[in-house]
Amino acid sequence: MSKIIAICNQKGGVGKTTTSINLGIGLARKNKKVLLVDFDPQGNATQGLGYDADALEKTVTTIIRKMINKDYTFEKDFGILHHEEGIDLLPANIDLAVIETELISLFFGRETILKNYFDRIREEYDYIIIDCMPSLNLITINALVAADQVIIPLHAQYYSVRGLEQLFQTIGSIISNGLNPSLKIAGILYTCVNDRTNSFRGIHNILENAYGQDIHIFKNYIPRSVKAEEAPSYGQSIYTYDQSGKVSMAYRGFTDELILLDEERG
Ligand SMILES: Nc1ncnc2c1ncn2[C@@H]1O[C@H](COP(=O)(O)OP(=O)(O)OP(=O)(O)O)[C@@H](O)[C@H]1O
Ligand SMILES: [Mg+2]
């Protein structure tokens, strides 16, 4: 049975896309069949894997629109690109920005459109990873309703922590109102860490005290590195761009930790 993971935080620039790409390719390197879904009109996951997002005619928007129109005649691999590093990508571009209005205008099932699509294709994959946009709008709600688990990338900074409560409330209401009763938080992943600063330790202690009992905080955190910033402009994962660098090692460790957690949690 495939696992569907939403990489989500409504705060911008916290490493959602970087984590989606490098977790996705990390899993593919372990012989897992992975689909990465770019679910952000910025199209960063699409661009970061080397595609010209604006030139693409078939994207996740095309799929969502077909699902809205109950047009189920498409093939399972419709719109899906095959990246040379071993993952499949359902790309996105700016066209996705208008989809929210189309979803809102639906009388019934506006939150479950992406889930209904995954129900048709999920058996093809071991993992489906959704790179969410920096907003808790209806597009992101579709991702959270479709997911089995959420990973929350976080900058270990004071202002980042404040947004977490709102994200937890949204996840909590998706669980309690029955839209996705089995949704789990896989954990919080620190990204862009400079572990020589006291603030990292300070924020970690605050989070550990506030949430550590209920929410896993990944032991493998991602350090800040210029290489991580450069890799997307080459359309490459960190494993290819900087094979033995610290970010590459960290994403490897994080991928292993996630697989182990999944095995423990069953
Ligand atoms: N470990 C890292 N070290 C240095 N720079 C990083 C690291 N991880 C991500 N970045 C850079 O930080 C910026 C934001 O990262 P990313 O695009 O992954 O965040 P995001 O949460 O997806 O942003 P958005 O909310 O806009 O979708 C990018 O320029 C990215 O290259
Ligand atoms: Mg992003």
pLDDT for 157 beyond 90: no
For 110-116, what is the mean pLDDT?
A: 98
39 vs 41: CA distance, rounded Å: 7
Buried b (16+ CB within 10 A) or exposed e, 43-66: bbbbbbbbbebeebeebbbbbbbb
For 90-100, what is the mean pLDDT?
A: 97
pLDDT on residue 236? 94
Find the 19 Cα to ligand 2 centroid distance in Å: 9
Q: Which residues surround ligand 2, an ion (CB under 5 A)?
A: 16-17, 44
Cα 245 to chain centroid distance, Å, stands at 23
The residue contributing the CA closest to ligand 1 atom 9 is 15
Residues lining ligand 1, Cβ inside 6 A: 12-18, 40, 42, 44, 134, 191-192, 222, 224-225, 228-229, 232, 247
For 143-157, what is the mean pLDDT?
A: 95
Q: At a CB cut-off of 8 Å and minimum separation 6, what does 149 contact?
A: 3, 4, 5, 6, 183, 184, 185, 186
Of the chain, the end-to-end C-alpha distance in Å amounts to 11
pLDDT on residue 199? 82
pLDDT for 156 beyond 90: no
pLDDT on residue 109? 95
The structural domain count of the chain equals 1
pLDDT on residue 173? 97
Question: Which residues are 155's β-sheet partners?
Answer: 191
Tokens at 261, concatenated: 């957690």
Torsion of CA 164, 165, 166, 167, to 10 degrees: 50
pLDDT on residue 160? 81
The predicted-structure confidence for 198-244, as pLDDT tens digits, reads as follows 888 888 999 999 999 999 999 999 999 999 999 999 999 999 999 99
Find the 228 Cα to ligand 1 centroid distance in Å: 8
Range of 33's domain?
Answer: 3-265
Handedness of CA 200, 183, 250, 15 (dihedral sign): negative
Which ligand 1 atom is at minimum distance from the Cα of 12? 25
The residue contributing the CA closest to ligand 1 atom 28 is 229
**Residue 183 confidence class, pLDDT cut points 50, 70, 90:** very high
Residue 260, burial from CB neighbour count under 10 angstroms (0-12, 13-18, 19+): exposed
pLDDT for 141 beyond 80: yes
The fraction of the chain above a pLDDT of 90, given in percent, is: 91
Structure-token match 């400079």, residue found:
194
For 11-26, what is the mean pLDDT?
A: 97
The fraction of the chain above a pLDDT of 70, given in percent, is: 100
For 135-145, what is the mean pLDDT?
A: 97
pLDDT on residue 195? 77
3-state helix, strand, coil split of the chain in percent (to 5) is 50, 15, 35
pLDDT on residue 46? 98
41 within 8 A of 94, measured Cβ to Cβ: yes
34 within 8 A of 206, measured Cβ to Cβ: no
* Average confidence score pLDDT of the chain: 95
The predicted-structure confidence for 26-78, as pLDDT tens digits, reads as follows 999 999 999 999 999 999 999 999 999 999 999 999 999 999 999 999 999 99
CATH number at residue 234: 3.40.50.300
3-state secondary structure of 90: strand
Q: Which ligand is nearest to the CA of 13?
A: 1
Closest C-alpha to 16, from 130, 141, 153, 188: 153
